[in-house]
């Protein structure tokens, strides 16, 4: 993944992150907890979370050391290097214990989800009982159309250049079903396509 293009798309979304945080907090509804943000599009949501909810304990993880170095610089430049930890791990076999996180975030999920991988089950495994995962892609349900219009064309170009896959709604439902998580997962189509994955208390 080209780091320059990755930085361009992450910077482009800077004004969008507060609205995505608002949407995920509608599902999470707590101001503390252990948080995992996954993938190369991490950082923006974590920073916005800490600005409003400084008691969160956040870890950012990705499979690319090069991407993690870039993300560390971005977090440091934003002044949050003491608040966020980093972990190098394969996304399909997360290097975390079971029941580790209260909240898992994956923006840009459709770069990674497909019918052959174990990603959703891994996210579910590391969720604590009562935990929530916010997985998907899109501008969010509350983002003003004016902000979307400002960045939509350039965001689409960059994401396509970075290798975004197109997944139909039926394909997504099949991935969820094959992961054995249909009963735990709600698909939200307002503001993009988002999976809200919840692990009930044992």
Q: Where are the domains of the chain?
A: 3-131+165-187
pLDDT in tens, 1-32: 789 999 999 999 999 999 999 999 999 999 99
Rounded mean pLDDT, 83-89: 97
Q: What is the pLDDT of residue 26?
A: 93
Q: Is 72 exposed, middle or buried (0-12, 13-18, 19+ CB in 10 A)?
A: middle
What would be the CATH architecture of the domain defined by 3-131+165-187?
Answer: 3-Layer(aba) Sandwich (3.40)
CA distance 1 to 161: 9
pLDDT recorded at residue 110: 76
Q: What is the mean pLDDT of residues 61-85?
A: 95
Sign of CA dihedral 101, 96, 104, 59: positive
Mapping DSSP to helix (H, G, I), strand (E, B) and coil, where does residue 130 land?
A: strand
Summarize the confidence of residues 84-92 as an average pLDDT.
95
Residue 115 has pLDDT above 90, yes or no: no
CA neighbor of 171 nearest in space, from 187, 157, 190, 184: 187
Q: Three-state DSSP class for 151?
A: helix
Alpha carbons 189 and 137: distance in angstroms, whole number = 10
Which whole number is the average pLDDT over 182-190? 91
Mean pLDDT (the chain) is 92
pLDDT of residue 196: 95
pLDDT at 165 over 90: no
Single out the residue of 197, 134, 135, 150 nearest to residue 15, CA to CA.
150
On the 0-12 / 13-18 / 19+ scale of CB atoms within 10 A, 55 is: exposed
Q: What is the spatial order of strands in the sheet that 193-198 belongs to?
A: 84-88, 56-62, 33-38, 101-107, 127-137, 193-198, 185-188
């Amino acid at each position: 993944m080209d780091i320059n293009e990755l930085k361009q798309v992450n910077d482009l979304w800077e004004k969008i992150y507060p609205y995505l945080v608002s949407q995920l907090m509608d599902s999470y509804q707590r101001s503390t907890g252990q948080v995992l943000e996954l993938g190369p599009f991490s950082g923006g949501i974590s920073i916005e979370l800490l600005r409003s909810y400084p008691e969160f304990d956040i870890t950012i993880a990705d499979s690319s050391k090069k991407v993690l170095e870039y993300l560390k610089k971005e977090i440091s430049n934003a002044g949050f290097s003491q608040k966020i930890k980093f972990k190098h791990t394969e996304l399909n076999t997360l290097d975390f214990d079971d029941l580790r996180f209260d909240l898992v975030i994956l923006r840009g999920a459709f770069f990674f989800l497909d019918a052959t991988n174990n990603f959703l089950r891994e996210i579910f495994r590391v969720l604590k009982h009562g935990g929530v995962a916010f997985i998907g892609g899109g501008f969010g349900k509350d983002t003003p159309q004016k902000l979307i219009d400002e960045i939509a064309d350039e965001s689409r170009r960059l994401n396509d250049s970075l290798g975004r896959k197109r997944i139909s709604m039926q394909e997504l439902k099949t991935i969820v079903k094959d992961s054995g998580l249909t009963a735990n997962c709600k698909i939200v189509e307002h503001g993009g396509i988002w999976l809200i994955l919840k692990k009930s208390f044992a």
